[in-house]
Amino acid sequence: MEMINIKINDKPVSVPKGYTILDAAREVGIHIPTLCYLKDINEIGACRMCLVEIKGARALQAACVYPVSEGLEIYTNSPQVRAARKATLELILSNHERKCLTCIRNRNCELQNLCEELGIEDIPYDGENIHYELDTSSPSLVRDNNKCVLCRRCIAACKNQTISVIDCIERGFNTHIGSHFEKPINDVSCIYCGQCIVSCPVGALYEKNDIPQVMEAIDNSEKHVVVQTAPAVRAALGEEFGLPIGTPVTGKMVAALRRLGFDKVFDTDTGADLTIMEEGTEFIERFTAQKNLPLITSCSPGWVKFCEHNYPEFLNNLSSCKSPMEMFGAVIKSYYADKAGINKDDIYSVAIMPCTSKKFESSREEMNSSGSRDIDASLTTRELARMIKQAGIDFVNLPDEEFDQPFGEATGAGVIFGTTGGVMEAAIRTVYEILEGKPLDNINVEAVRGLDGVKEATLKIAGKDVKIAVAHGIKNAREVLEKVKAGEKYDFIEIMACPGGCINGGGQPIVDARTKATVDVKALRAKALYTEDERATLRKSHENPNIDLLYKDFFEKPGSHKAHKLLHTHYTDRSNIK
């Protein structure tokens, strides 16, 4: 690696060629404030918070986009730099709705942190402060332009997903973020992945708040309130309570949910095991008949909605299986209701998900095969954290508790659903053993692990080649789909809407840009799930005794008529909405 010799604050340092000044400063432990910067997503130098002084230069320069060169001399804390940063921040604040105490991002706001860092004591300027109506049109997220600081990180995140339904509109004080023709977000092809939310430094974007209706159900003695938790939630919830990124908190999460008043606490991983049985059977049937291949996973509602809008020609390739959340919801309001002797209409079913698009999924008309809405409310990881805090529960010091039976026992295969490649790996573990009649030599399918945007492999199963692909993030999904359209042959494809999969979903704890620049958040959260998989007593979905009992008692066999009625679905061509 070629190194460049520079000086930062009169200290000689050597840094790799290709670094920006911001990279170089971080390399030697010097913090330069940023606001619009988001590593690998938004590096445009727009906010001017990262200004630095360069010896010999006529003006201050934005550190996030200025490349280092041999002999460069940089000053990050000169009087001119401090004055410019403070003035810039004061101007941003002049046009910002400063209702910090009631803001959803209070104490987790990058603008708020900058005010503390730069010693803002007063705001000498008064901007236009144009009032914008909230966009609450979608079932998943809320847009509040009154809090927007025009950093453009949401725009970059949306473009990075190749969705691009939002952009800057108008100029000057009237500049704001909106969709084309100022349509409500529900009327464009937004997939509600929430990557805009986790990219936003302030409270201009957030998930739809469904906590009040859940608490109302818990407080209603006539309601039997059941909750299920997705695998990725346990890998991130602890961050909301000061625990290191990637700390699994399964037992504490279960204990907290009981203390919140839920009647039963179940594990969505059980629903994931059920999904593998149905999806694995579906793949075997399609692969044997060589019909409607490649089979493409349907667990990610953001991906499904993207496909409906942009690639309706692939709808027949989508697995007809509902997501684990929706499968489990249907089971709770049918099989579980019968076994527990509870009228299904008296059951209120809640799902804790890492995903904002799950709110949309639970509202879909197709998701009522049990005779009523399968999932009554889907809460994000962040919403669960707020509920725990509001209830005064000391989360960190809670004892570990176990999920309730009969849906508390899941396999390691169900756990890894939360990371990219996990669904494919879980499916391979089961499909291989069904077709081969013997165990896999290595249950860890390394070919589908890791954070490469697209992973491909050819596996030999029962004497036949099975070509698989795994893509995470819609940009990579497009790449794979275009290859299929160009004639590339695949048998099985896993697609997750969010980069990294569910561990990096739009409903997960928000990590600030400074941390994201130095820590691989996705890798740490994924490691937590793989660790739980390694520790699991059972690691293959078809080995789950509760799933076996469910088929014997209720569904008869995977792919049965009853299974198709309750556990499978269909999709909608939305290509007319752009």
**In the predicted model, is pLDDT for residue 453 greater than 90?**
yes
What tens digit of pLDDT does each residue of 251-304 get?
999 999 999 999 999 999 999 999 999 999 999 999 999 999 999 999 999 999
Among residues 456, 3, 65, the alpha carbon closest in space to that of 13 is found at 3
Cis peptide before 406 (omega within 30 of 0): yes
What tens digit of pLDDT does each residue of 250-260 get?
999 999 999 99
Contact 377, 362 (CB under 8 A): yes
Q: Determine the pLDDT at residue 506.
A: 98
291 phi and psi angles, rounded to 5 deg = -130, 140
DSSP-assigned states of every residue in 454-477: EEEEEEEETTEEEEEEEEESHHHH
**In the predicted model, is pLDDT for residue 369 greater than 90?**
no
Q: Determine the pLDDT at residue 372.
A: 86
Long-range contacts of 116-123 (CB under 8 A, 24+ apart): 117/33, 118/33, 118/82, 118/85, 118/86, 118/89, 119/86, 120/86, 120/89, 120/90, 120/93, 123/90, 123/93, 123/94, 123/98
502 classed as catalytic:
yes
Q: Determine the pLDDT at residue 232.
A: 98
Find the catalytic residue in 361, 383, 425, 532.
Answer: 361
**In the predicted model, is pLDDT for residue 441 greater than 90?**
no
279 classed as catalytic:
yes
319 classed as catalytic:
yes
366 classed as catalytic:
yes
Mean pLDDT of the chain: 96
**In the predicted model, is pLDDT for residue 578 greater than 90?**
no
CB atoms inside a 10 Å sphere around CB 213: 14
Find the catalytic residue in 319, 320, 370, 541.
Answer: 319
Q: Determine the pLDDT at residue 408.
A: 82
Contact 268, 253 (CB under 8 A): no
What tens digit of pLDDT does each residue of 310-364 get?
999 999 999 999 999 999 999 999 999 999 999 999 999 999 999 999 999 999 9
Find the catalytic residue in 299, 321, 355, 498.
Answer: 299
67 band by pLDDT with thresholds 50, 70 and 90: very high
Q: Determine the pLDDT at residue 424.
A: 97
Contact 50, 62 (CB under 8 A): yes
Find the catalytic residue in 358, 359, 522, 540.
Answer: 358
What tens digit of pLDDT does each residue of 383-431 get?
999 999 999 999 999 999 999 998 888 999 999 999 999 999 999 999 9
Q: To which residue do tokens 């998943």 refer?
A: 140
Find the catalytic residue in 366, 401, 479, 543.
Answer: 366
Find the catalytic residue in 239, 282, 383, 409.
Answer: 282
Contact 574, 312 (CB under 8 A): yes
Give the three-state DSSP class for 281: helix
Find the catalytic residue in 151, 349, 502, 516.
Answer: 502
222 classed as catalytic:
no
104 band by pLDDT with thresholds 50, 70 and 90: very high
What tens digit of pLDDT does each residue of 176-196 get?
999 999 999 999 999 999 999
50 classed as catalytic:
no
Q: Determine the pLDDT at residue 257.
A: 98
Find the catalytic residue in 240, 279, 409, 494.
Answer: 279
361 classed as catalytic:
yes
- CA separation, residue 157 to residues 42, 64, 234, 453, 529 (Å): 8, 17, 25, 16, 25
358 classed as catalytic:
yes
370 band by pLDDT with thresholds 50, 70 and 90: confident
